[in-house]
Amino acid sequence: MQLVPRSDWGAPATTPAALMPTAKGVKVHWIGGRYTTGAQHGDQCAAEVRAIRQEHLSNPDQRWVDIAYNLVVCQHGVVFEGRGAGHESGANGNQPLNLAHYAVCAIQGTNESASDMLKVGLRDAIEYLQAHGAGPEILGHRDGYATDCPGPELYAWLHAGAPRPGGTVPAPVQQPTPATRAPAAPAWPGRLLRVQQPMLHGDDVRQWQQRMRDRGWSITADGWFGPASAEVARRFQAEKHLAADAVVGPATWAAAWTAPVT
């Protein structure tokens, strides 16, 4: 696989996106619209990745913190590091969908066919993410979200198992055993855990507090979310490169179970 690191195509070396060490699998997207790929891999491909990132950062509704995809693949089969492995994507449609799958984008317009090299690059990207925590599911963006993405050609290829051109469908990647795989996060309780008046109280608070206590944080699991709990949340968020707002939302909740203990 030819992987272009973030810094080599013009992004900061690291992403502020939330950590997400495991996922059910990978969802594939395309850029859509009209786009014409140059004959040779070069500056045009990197410029398109930069343009995607800038478009995402400029979107006031989505409030993306970085390019939304984990990886981006051009028609020449080159893989560009977006958010990279082990980070939550922002591309799959909503928070639960982003927590379920990583996201890979194909630089393919509606007027282009998918080249064999594009499919090779996508297969490389999928296997790279599978080697870094993704499960065996290989889906399209439209699976679970109302969209035409990634177009009929790529979608049919994905549901044929995403075979390498001229080859066969690879065997599913062997996943870690339950003893070594990071535990799945319980469902987010649906309300933000934060300091407020009257003080927030409930089993969801106690569950999060106990999880943080199990991870080694000094916190009392009494079910009351006060200033001490907020300070633990803020410090945990800063450690995991999350928005350090001392509010336990979906990303912070999930990270409490899935992010590595440091």
Alpha carbon 70 to chain centroid, angstroms: 6
Token duo for residue 40: 């040779």
Please answer whether residues 103 and 29 qualify as being in contact, where contact means their C-beta atoms are separated by less than 8 angstroms: yes
When pLDDT is averaged across residues 235-255 and rounded to a whole number, the result is 92
pTM: 0.66
Q: Could you tell me which of 258, 187, 260, 192 has the C-alpha nearest to residue 229? A: 192
Reported as type and span, the H/E element at residue 238 is: helix 227-239
- The Cβ-side half-sphere exposure at 102, using a 13 Å CA radius, reads 33
Band (pLDDT 50/70/90 cuts) for residue 183 is: low
pLDDT one-digit tens code per residue, 99-111: 999 999 999 999 9
List C-alpha distances in Å: 245 to 11, 62, 233, 251: 25, 18, 8, 12
Q: Where are the domains of the chain?
A: 3-159, 200-258
Query: How high is the pLDDT of residue 62?
Result: 86
Query: How high is the pLDDT of residue 168?
Result: 53
Percentage of residues of the chain with pLDDT beyond 70: 93
**In CATH, what number does 3-159 get?**
3.40.80.10
Lowest mean pLDDT among 8-17, 161-170, 199-208: 161-170
pLDDT at 38 over 60: yes
The reply to whether CATH 3.30.110.40 applies to domain 200-258 is: no
Band (pLDDT 50/70/90 cuts) for residue 181 is: very low
Percentage of residues of the chain with pLDDT beyond 90: 76
Fold match between 3-159 and 200-258? no
List C-alpha distances in Å: 234 to 67, 200, 231, 253: 24, 17, 5, 12
Query: How high is the pLDDT of residue 170?
Result: 53
Please answer whether residues 28 and 154 qualify as being in contact, where contact means their C-beta atoms are separated by less than 8 angstroms: yes
